[in-house]
Amino acid sequence: MSATGLKSLLARPGAVLAPGVYDGLSALMAEQAGFEALYLSGAAIAYTQLGRPDVGLITATQALDVVARIDDRVSLPLIVDIDTGFGNALNVRQTVRQFERAGAQGLQIEDQTMPKRCGHLAGKELVSPAEMAGKVRAAVDARRSEQTLIIARTDAIAVEGFNAALDRAALYRDAGADVLFIEAPQTATQLAAITSAFATTTPLLANMVEGGRTPILTKTELEAIGFKLVITPGALVRAFAFMAGEFLAALKSDGTTAALRKRMFDFNQINQILGLDGLMEEGARYAEAPVVKAAE
């Protein structure tokens, strides 16, 4: 558990920037880079674990496995996208308890129908506002700790329009959501309208997706208009995929990694990042013969 929890981070002045991670290594490198919180999206799990797009294919069990491995490796607070809660309000209660036990400090639930899809894809469908408000209440009731934050996301902009999205967000806030996430605003004007409506009462999340529907702004710019939490959920995966494509093309063409070695960690460097020396020292302690006291 981090010395500075997510709730405490959001209570401080300014915004928190949480990069998207997808496994133990990416989480470790984000921690070593100096970030204060991490974000795990369903999309990142689908991309990396299934090699599939974000169209509701992952299961709660698959996501829990990734959460547990990340929590085992790093101490930063982890925000987890739990999609629709994997079912109805009763399923949401179980999902929240499971993910909280696995180490999540922020749990994000959305108002799409199942199977859901990425918030920046077309063709989304929504549950009723009342059903989603019930899920939010169930999530709040299910958490064991008040340090666990419930993040309510609405995808209504693309389906019902901007004003309907604001109405839904207000309902979810009143149902007990700790943070509001209005997905895929399409202009800087809409971003500003969101903070104008809610920033004085509830922390707001901004989602930056390269090639998505929302203008890409910096953390400083989003902070200035009132957002408290900024996520880049799939950016690291997309960067990895781009570089992997370059690497594999060069390896296929050249039959060697020589052309890209200056853009790679070598064997010793990656083991330094992973903490090999410290782990070997820990192991050596258990290899020593125990001290046996002589009988008195």
pLDDT-derived band at 250 (thresholds 50, 70, 90) equals very high
**Does an H or E element contain 148, and which?**
none
pLDDT tens for each residue of 14-58: 999 999 999 999 999 999 999 999 999 999 999 999 999 988 899
Check residue 296 and give its pLDDT: 58
Q: Which CATH superfamily is domain 6-240 in?
A: Phosphoenolpyruvate-binding domains (3.20.20.60)
pLDDT tens for each residue of 72-129: 999 999 999 999 999 999 999 999 999 999 999 999 999 999 877 776 767 789 999 9
Residue 144 makes CB contacts below 8 A (sequence gap 6+) with 97, 100
Check residue 159 and give its pLDDT: 94
Check residue 21 and give its pLDDT: 98
The residue type at 149:
L
Q: Other CB atoms closer than 10 Å to residue 195's CB: what's the count?
A: 18
pLDDT-derived band at 295 (thresholds 50, 70, 90) equals low
pLDDT tens for each residue of 180-190: 999 999 999 99
Kindly tell me if the per-residue pLDDT of 1 is higher than 50.
no
**Does an H or E element contain 55, and which?**
none
DSSP assignment, residue 255?
Answer: S
DSSP assignment, residue 72?
Answer: H
Q: How large is the greatest C-alpha to C-alpha distance in the chain, in angstroms? A: 82
Check residue 161 and give its pLDDT: 97
pLDDT tens for each residue of 201-211: 999 999 999 99
pLDDT tens for each residue of 132-165: 999 999 999 999 999 999 999 999 999 999 999 9
* Half-sphere exposure for 31 (CA within 13 Å, toward CB): 17
The average pLDDT across 252-271 equals: 96
Check residue 122 and give its pLDDT: 73
Radius of gyration of the chain (CA): 21
Question: Percent of the chain having pLDDT more than 70?
Answer: 96
Per the CB < 8 A criterion, the answer to whether 114 and 126 are in contact is no
Check residue 280 and give its pLDDT: 94
**What spatial distance separates the first Cα and last Cα of the chain, rounded to whole Å?**
44
Question: What strands lie across the sheet with 179-182, from one edge to the other?
Answer: 179-182, 149-154, 106-110, 78-81, 38-40, 16-21, 229-232, 205-207
Distance CA 147, CA 127 (A): 28
Domain layout of the chain by residue ranges: 6-240, 262-287
The per-residue pLDDT of the chain, averaged, comes to 94
Kindly tell me if the per-residue pLDDT of 239 is higher than 90.
yes
Check residue 120 and give its pLDDT: 72
Predicted TM-score (pTM) of the model is 0.93
Kindly tell me if the per-residue pLDDT of 218 is higher than 90.
yes
Check residue 3 and give its pLDDT: 53
Check residue 2 and give its pLDDT: 46
DSSP assignment, residue 258?
Answer: G
Distance CA 236, CA 29 (A): 11
Using CA atoms, how far residue 295 sits from 74, 289, 291, 292, in Å, is 44, 18, 13, 9
Listed in order, strand segments (DSSP E) in the chain are 16-21, 38-40, 78-81, 106-110, 149-154, 179-182, 205-207, 229-232
Helices (H), 46-183: 60-73, 89-102, 129-142, 156-160, 162-174
Kindly tell me if the per-residue pLDDT of 289 is higher than 70.
no
Judge residue 78's burial from the number of C-beta atoms within 10 Å of its C-beta, 0-12 exposed, 13-18 middle, 19 or more buried: buried
